[in-house]
Amino acid sequence: MHSSKSFLEYDRQLWVLFAGRVIAAIGFSIVMPFLSIFLYTEMGVPMTVVGIVFLGNAVAGAVGQVIGGELADRLGRRPIMCISMVMRTAVFLLLSVAIAGMVDLWIIAILLMATSLTGSLFEPATNALVADLVSPGRRLEAYSILRVGQNVGWALGPLLGGLLAVISYASLFLFTALTSMIVAIITYTWISDSSRAITESDKLDASDLKKVWKNRIFIAICLATIPLFIVLGQMTSTLALFSKDIVGISVAEVGYLYTLNGIIVIFLQLPMARYVNKFRMTHVLVVGGILYAIGYFIIGWASSLWILVASMIIISMGENIISSPSINLVANISSEHDRGRYMGVAGIFQTFGWSIGPLVGGILYDSLIDKPVILWSSIATVSLISVFGFTWISKIIPREIDVVDDS
């Protein structure tokens, strides 16, 4: 276990990034849980169409990741981070005006895609900067610190968003514009660039990428994670709307649910990750998938806030269990020189699951809204696909890949 002194040994810029991650996550989580509620209840958009809007956002975000990573190498980390947040500020201001004026859906959808595109430019530059600042042996811990910062933001954002939504939905986007500008100022003031020139070894070779796709066990793992991320995608879409529209809780109480999720992740993620490291990772992912299934199945029986609270606790525990092994498994199956490439390919599958999650949930919501038990049982069943997938993988994967390296 690291002492507090060891945390202080990190470069000061890592803690600047941590503060920026908290503020950015507050802004993002103020908007996301309530976006589907606004589109469905205020604009009358069918949930299937809401799912398509979320899919468009995810596609724009994936494009932004690719562009941001390339520009971060060519122009530097700090310039791209600043440009990203300044552009996102402008787009969120436009969104605030558009939503206040209740403009056409297609305009709002385009602006939402622009926020996803501009925001995604920030992530690869940030991750690259951490790799520049931190020695290889401590990078995993450094990235974990940033993830805790993100969850601090997710604990605070929905709580504040639930209160602002009572005033107006436009105020959510106005506040997010403010947080984006604060992050831009922090980055410009306290971050110094550390980028390096591109070398021939940094350039992607198509043959290297083919080797990744030919790794059958790795691709099986990636395919098995898709259903988990489809289910996870319900968190900011179908679950939020169902909680308000069907269960009948207030928008503020929806915010409390997401705050509860953030609190559980913040305080229990590291202890749970240490505990599950004792077991084979595929077995842990099976347990996590079962917890997801149980948590989402319970939602179908929800008639009050407290049943939703019980469901959120179970779902959050599943999230804590899944997060660490899913990363370690990819790290173990790859070698040091191609680990980033493997992580990137795994990210494509995860993004795909997250992207189609709201669409799958939207179709089920529109079709089964009068049958909530069947609706959420169907979503829970999607998680069970991953359970069966990882159960099968556990029988074919070499044990040395499936266990945590304690050395």
- pLDDT digit string, tens, across residues 116-129: 899 888 887 887 78
Closest Cα partner for 130 from 120, 119, 118, 141?
141
3-class state of residue 371 by DSSP = coil
Phi, psi at residue 328, to the nearest 5°? -60, -35
What pLDDT score was predicted for residue 177?
96
Which tokens is 238 given?
């179908």
C-alpha 34/C-alpha 45 separation (Å) is 14
Cβ 321 vs Cβ 264: under 8 Å:
no
C-alpha 328/C-alpha 140 separation (Å) is 10
Domain residue ranges in the chain: 11-194, 207-407
Least confident of 65-69, 198-202, 227-231, 339-343: 198-202
Closest Cα partner for 79 from 216, 187, 154, 7?
187
Question: CA quadruple 234, 144, 79, 352: dihedral positive or negative?
Answer: negative
Residue 99 has pLDDT above 90, yes or no: yes
**Mean pLDDT, the chain, integer:** 84
Q: For residue 139, give the amino acid letter.
A: R
Least confident of 11-25, 55-69, 130-144, 171-185: 130-144
C-alpha 279/C-alpha 56 separation (Å) is 38
Residue 338 has pLDDT above 80, yes or no: no
Cβ 54 vs Cβ 355: under 8 Å:
yes
C-alpha 55/C-alpha 138 separation (Å) is 35
Which tokens is 213 given?
């796709």
Which tokens is 254 given?
């929806």
Q: Which residues contact 140 (CB under 8 A, 6 or more apart)?
A: none
Cβ 34 vs Cβ 172: under 8 Å:
yes
> For residue 362, what pLDDT band results from cuts at 50, 70 and 90?
confident
Residue 24 has pLDDT above 90, yes or no: yes
Give CA separation, 120 vs 80, 91, 204, 344, in Å: 11, 13, 21, 14
Closest Cα partner for 289 from 260, 314, 262, 263?
314
What pLDDT score was predicted for residue 364?
93
Which tokens is 318 given?
């599943």
Mean pLDDT of the 176-199 span? 83
236 vs 401 pLDDT, higher one: 401
Cβ 291 vs Cβ 321: under 8 Å:
yes
Residue 357 has pLDDT above 80, yes or no: yes
9 vs 35 pLDDT, higher one: 35
C-alpha 74/C-alpha 198 separation (Å) is 7
Q: At what angle do helices 77-100 and 169-190 cross, to 10 degrees?
A: 160
Closest Cα partner for 357 from 221, 237, 219, 225?
237
What pLDDT score was predicted for residue 396?
92
Q: Which residues contact 71 (CB under 8 A, 6 or more apart)?
A: 80, 121, 125
C-alpha 53/C-alpha 90 separation (Å) is 20
pTM of the model: 0.74
Query: Which of these CATH numbers, 1.10.150.20, 2.60.120.1270, 1.20.1250.20, 1.10.3720.10, describes 207-407?
Result: 1.20.1250.20
Give CA separation, 386 vs 180, 199, 221, 287, 392, in Å: 36, 39, 9, 10, 10
What pLDDT score was predicted for residue 85?
97
333 vs 385 pLDDT, higher one: 385
Least confident of 30-44, 121-135, 151-165: 121-135
Q: At what angle do helices 339-368 and 47-75 cross, to 10 degrees?
A: 160
Closest Cα partner for 178 from 23, 288, 49, 291?
23
Mean pLDDT of the 306-311 span? 96
Q: 11-194, what's its fold?
A: Growth Hormone; Chain: A; (1.20.1250)
What pLDDT score was predicted for residue 164?
85
Q: Judge whether 11-194 and 207-407 match in fold.
A: yes
Residue 335 has pLDDT above 70, yes or no: no
> For residue 254, what pLDDT band results from cuts at 50, 70 and 90?
confident
What pLDDT score was predicted for residue 333?
80
> For residue 340, what pLDDT band results from cuts at 50, 70 and 90?
low
Convert the pLDDT of each residue in 219-237 to its tens digit: 999 899 999 989 988 887 8
